[in-house]
Amino acid sequence: MEKVVPNGQKYKVVRKNVSEYQGANFKQIEKKHLEIIPEIEYHWGEEVTEGNSPLILITTSQTKVEQISEEEYKNTKLLIHPNSGHDNLSYDFIKNAPFPIILGNPIRAHAVTNYILSAVFKHYSSFKKQDEWDANRTWNRHLLNTKKVLLIGYGHIGKLVHQSLGPLVQSMSIYDPEKGYKELEQKDCDLVIVAASLNPTSKYLVDKAFLTSLAKDFVLINPARGPIVNQLDLMEVLTKNKYATAYLDVFEQEPYKKIDFLGMDNIITTSHIAGVYSSLNSEIIKYEFDVISKFIQTCDKIEEFKGFYKELLLQNKIKEDYIL
Instruction: Tell me the whole-structure pTM to 2 decimals.
Output: 0.93
- Most distant CA atoms of the chain, gap in Å: 77
CA distance linking residue 15 with residue 41, whole number of Å: 11
- What class has domain 108-126+141-269? alpha beta
Residue 322: DSSP 8-state? S
Q: What is the pLDDT of residues 204-240, one digit of tens each?
A: 999 999 999 999 999 999 999 999 999 999 999 999 9
The dihedral through the CA atoms of 204, 100, 178, 217 has a sign that is negative
**According to CATH, what is the number of the domain 11-106+278-317?**
3.40.50.720
CA distance linking residue 311 with residue 156, whole number of Å: 10
What's the pLDDT at 3? 52
3-class DSSP state of 292: helix
Contact 250, 225 (CB under 8 A): yes
Q: What is the pLDDT of residues 257-277, one digit of tens each?
A: 999 999 999 999 999 999 999
Residue whose C-alpha is closest to residue 202's, from 154, 133, 265: 154
Contact 195, 159 (CB under 8 A): no
Secondary structure (DSSP) of 51-117: SS--EEEE--TT--GGGS-HHHHHHEEEEEE-SS--TTS-HHHHHH-SS-EEE-HHHHHHHHHHHHH
15-24, 125-134, 136-145, 163-172: segment of lowest average pLDDT: 15-24
Q: What is the pLDDT of residues 38-77, one digit of tens each?
A: 999 999 876 655 678 899 999 999 899 999 999 999 999 9
Q: Do 11-106+278-317 and 108-126+141-269 agree at the fold level?
A: yes
Domain locations along the chain: 11-106+278-317, 108-126+141-269
